[in-house]
Chain A
């Protein structure tokens, strides 16, 4: 462990010197491959299937980016990162974009030198417990052992929650997500805490998901968003507007099935979006067909959501806060013009 850290320390030192001057866009274009930081396996967000292909919402963001950059959604190299490795990997240039269920907060945005693209998934932290323990509220967790992963905002929120309610508890903290879940499902802990989507994801992997319940309390706001390095505004713009474009497509009613038909639509908003009226692509430094390619190959936000975490998937998550603004949600893409 120590040896790896030392290596990362020196390598990050060396790599910082290599990457900081270069423009990310030209580096990525030259390489012909997007380096995308994802989780080590979180069903619905980023997890590999038995063939080693990655699936999930976070993965689809990277695929969409690759489609916008190279007209080919498959030109992505996925680099799976632990919670505690992810920021160093981004800072050092090992990944171009971190699309890994990462919460935006002030500290990360400022002193860690990150920039956050728009929120991809509005989440909140919750607790999962065993049904047979007959716990109805998180306030009953006095003295409980709580399993969680290291290096997440979860650790802090949990401490804050118990401190605010003057309850004692015992954190059991692991480096890898698998160990955390194993410890909980084997009974080492009374509760498992992480973002509610993550709890749903872990529960969906169990043989008997009905034995576990997610408590109603949501103890924090967890806006999950892709992140890029601070200091490269052009690259930041591309990631930011790519995420917006996925939502805008949903708003405009463009999806992967009708996108070719939409090319002939007379609505100037749609024409501008799909690059029939030129301008957006040039402003971003991409081809005019960037948004077309994203929707054609990956789909709009709604398709991405439903495919990975929606009602038809084992996670069964409702749109809730993640609906568009005109449907009672929080996603509000600014005009693409």
Chain B
């Protein structure tokens, strides 16, 4: 026991020393910083968070005005970042799967097109792509007064896409209708009565119910004034919902850029599954798409997930380029706050903390999923 301890001690001493040196330097840095900030009369501390921010923010998930405090302004920024990261990843992962599978397709048109897209988007810096999409949005779409009007209640111009908004009542009606339809479908599917068993009959019934429900929902919506249409008022459309060109170009840029990396990950994952698996599946009489869906993809997930996590994190982190094209993300708002208060150290620390938290939480969740998948794999394939 004693020798064991000594052995540990001797082995760990250099590591401990290293940590001590690092801690010493960090301490020195911190002390220096405190001292110098004080000497130069620069404010420090987190008191500024409670002060009135005084600036407006272009778009926000929660209500916000310039009389709110810095903490709320930063929250607005955080939610804007999370919004683009969440929607971005929800789109980039499936798109990545699609592109990756296409690249491996037998059809040369499909695989060559996919490869071209991947190579093009992967090799152009993201910032440049963002500028490109933003310029495109502001250049090709007309001004507010000449807005495109593709569908009733929908407008497209260089201020963004404007669509009707639905009130809470309206949303409730639609959800209820959807749930009803779903339940009806399930009941119908399960029913074994001879009278209803004809497939054609079931489909007809479903469509009739769907149309009736559609009429009912639209009647209810108009009755409760649940839909608000965008109207041109002065400089801009008011009422309704809008998607700003800043958000759209950021989302588009991030999704396309990340999805091509995802595609390569998916491709490598699929290629990592042994050929024998394909052959076995095909010899059992499965079609190649069934083979892909039920045999190859589940096995490739183990290879795909860890690098995919990295790409998801990348998307979240890359969203901080938003400031270049005027989307008020977290970094943008923190930058503005930094300038108004001058408290660079605190705000940069907050920025780092926030991105660290986003990354750690995402990777924690994805690792959980990964463990689950890996476990399933062991059960499925005990010799592996």
Chain A residues in contact with chain B, CB under 8 A?
A: 1-2, 5-6, 8-9, 12-14, 16-17, 20, 83-84, 87-88, 91, 107-108, 110-113, 141-145, 147, 150-152, 155-156, 158-160, 162-163, 169-176, 179, 183, 186-188, 190, 229-231
**Can you give 11 A-B contacts (C-beta < 8 A)?**
A1-B324, A20-B39, A87-B344, A113-B41, A156-B55, A171-B57, A172-B246, A174-B324, A186-B139, A187-B138, A230-B40
Asked whether B320 is an interface residue with its Cβ less than 8 Å from the other chain, the reply is yes
Residue pair B66, A159 in contact (C-beta under 8 Å)? yes
By beta carbon, the residue of chain A nearest B335 is A84
Q: How far is the CA of A155 from the CA of B57 in the complex (A)?
A: 10
Question: Which of B238, B326, B328 is packed against the most chain A CB atoms within 10 Å?
Answer: B326
Residue pair A107, B342 in contact (C-beta under 8 Å)? yes
Residue pair B56, A175 in contact (C-beta under 8 Å)? no
Asked whether B331 is an interface residue with its Cβ less than 8 Å from the other chain, the reply is yes
Residue pair B323, A1 in contact (C-beta under 8 Å)? yes
Residue pair B335, A150 in contact (C-beta under 8 Å)? yes
Q: How far is the CA of A188 from the CA of B244 in the complex (A)?
A: 10
Q: How far is the CA of A156 from the CA of B43 in the complex (A)?
A: 20
Asked whether B208 is an interface residue with its Cβ less than 8 Å from the other chain, the reply is no
Asked whether B338 is an interface residue with its Cβ less than 8 Å from the other chain, the reply is yes
Asked whether B58 is an interface residue with its Cβ less than 8 Å from the other chain, the reply is yes
Residue pair A84, B331 in contact (C-beta under 8 Å)? no
Question: Which of B39, B56, B351 is packed against the most chain A CB atoms within 10 Å?
Answer: B56
- A residues within 8 A CB of B348? 5-6, 8-9
Taking the closest CB of chain A, its distance from the CB of B41, in whole angstroms, is 5
Residue pair B159, A145 in contact (C-beta under 8 Å)? yes
Residue pair A175, B324 in contact (C-beta under 8 Å)? yes
Chain B residues in contact with chain A, CB under 8 A?
A: 29, 32-33, 35-37, 39-43, 54-58, 65-67, 135, 138-139, 143, 158-159, 233-236, 238, 245-246, 317, 320-321, 323-326, 328, 331-332, 335-336, 338-345, 348-349, 351-352, 355
Q: How far is the CA of A88 from the CA of B40 in the complex (A)?
A: 12
Residue pair B32, A175 in contact (C-beta under 8 Å)? no
Taking the closest CB of chain B, its distance from the CB of A313, in whole angstroms, is 30
Residue pair A87, B342 in contact (C-beta under 8 Å)? yes
- A residues within 8 A CB of B56? 155, 158-159, 162, 169, 171
Residue pair B58, A13 in contact (C-beta under 8 Å)? no
Q: How far is the CA of A14 from the CA of B26 in the complex (A)?
A: 11
Residue pair B41, A231 in contact (C-beta under 8 Å)? yes
Q: How far is the CA of A172 from the CA of B56 in the complex (A)?
A: 10
- B residues within 8 A CB of A111? 41-43, 341-343
Q: How far is the CA of A312 from the CA of B244 in the complex (A)?
A: 42
Q: How far is the CA of A107 from the CA of B331 in the complex (A)?
A: 22
Residue pair A187, B143 in contact (C-beta under 8 Å)? yes
- A residues within 8 A CB of B342? 87, 91, 107-108, 111-113
List the 8 closest pairs (A to B, CB-CB), nearest first: A151-B339, A112-B342, A111-B43, A113-B42, A113-B40, A159-B66, A16-B36, A17-B32
Residue pair B55, A159 in contact (C-beta under 8 Å)? yes
Residue pair B55, A84 in contact (C-beta under 8 Å)? no
- B residues within 8 A CB of A163? 65-67
- B36 CB contact (under 8 Å) in A17, A84, A175: A17
By beta carbon, the residue of chain B nearest A170 is B58
